[in-house]
Amino acid sequence: MGNTNDEGIVEEDFNVDVDEDNTDWKAEAKKQEGIAKRNATKLAKLKEKAEAEPEKPKPSEGLDYGQKAFLIANGVKGEAENKLVAEYLSSGKTLDEIVDNKHFKNDLKDLREAKAVKDATPANSKRSATSTKSTVDYWLAKGELPPADQQELRRDVVNAKIKKETAESKFTSNPVVS
């Protein structure tokens, strides 16, 4: 007892025409040729960009050792003087031009004079240039509080007054009993 089905099997003819090809090979070749040209153009542009990018000199963050040696040989020393040179370098001038530039020489002279004045002023004297209105010592000597908008400075002045008062002797230097 098998599974047999004797109902009629219908055979259908499938005719696939492989011989019929409606492709326009000439147009397809031109299309592929255009794609190849576009890709070649894109590749050429990318190569140009890659070659053009390394030509840009990267801005240096500071002076290199060769430049520093050149400046020291020409009498330019110190961090502040090197910053002045860096400002002039940003204008596009070379070190030779900068060292010979009269404006640079004047700026360098002014910078050195300002540094000499600052170094000559004693830091811990009453004539000190650093005793400005933004220091606690200034306000303690004046005996007043700083303006209300400078709250941190006011707090520091009050704390310094409290510390000074607690450090003083509670006994007078002139006793009542003799």
C-alpha to C-alpha distance for 39 and 128, rounded to whole angstroms = 73
One-letter identity of residue 49: K
Q: Is residue 177 part of a domain?
A: no
Q: Is residue 92 part of a domain?
A: yes
Q: Which of 26-35, 100-109, 110-119 has the lowest mean pLDDT?
A: 110-119
Q: Is residue 126 part of a domain?
A: no
DSSP string, 121-143: S-TTSTT-TT--TTSHHHHHHHT
- Identify whether the C-beta of residue 86 lies closer than 8 Å to the C-beta of residue 93: no
Q: Is residue 143 part of a domain?
A: yes
Model pLDDT, residue 127: 58
Residues 108 and 70 in one domain: yes
Q: Is residue 27 part of a domain?
A: no
**How far is residue 21 CA from its own chain's centroid?**
66
Q: Which two tokens stand for residue 32?
A: 């592929």
Domain range for 140 is: 136-165
| Tally of domains in the chain | 2
Residues 113 and 148 in one domain: no
C-alpha to C-alpha distance for 112 and 27, rounded to whole angstroms = 79
Q: Is residue 46 part of a domain?
A: no
pLDDT 10s digits, 70-106: 999 999 888 889 999 989 888 888 999 999 999 999 9
**How far is residue 147 CA from its own chain's centroid?**
35
pTM value? Answer: 0.39
Q: How many CA atoms lie within 13 Å of 107's alpha carbon, on the beta-carbon side?
A: 17
C-alpha to C-alpha distance for 157 and 146, rounded to whole angstroms = 8
Residues 140 and 116 in one domain: no
Q: Is residue 87 part of a domain?
A: yes
Q: Is residue 115 part of a domain?
A: yes
Model pLDDT, residue 126: 59
Rounded to whole angstroms, what are the CA distances from 111 to 77, 83, 92, 122? 12, 11, 22, 19
Q: Which of 45-59, 94-108, 123-137 has the lowest mean pLDDT?
A: 123-137
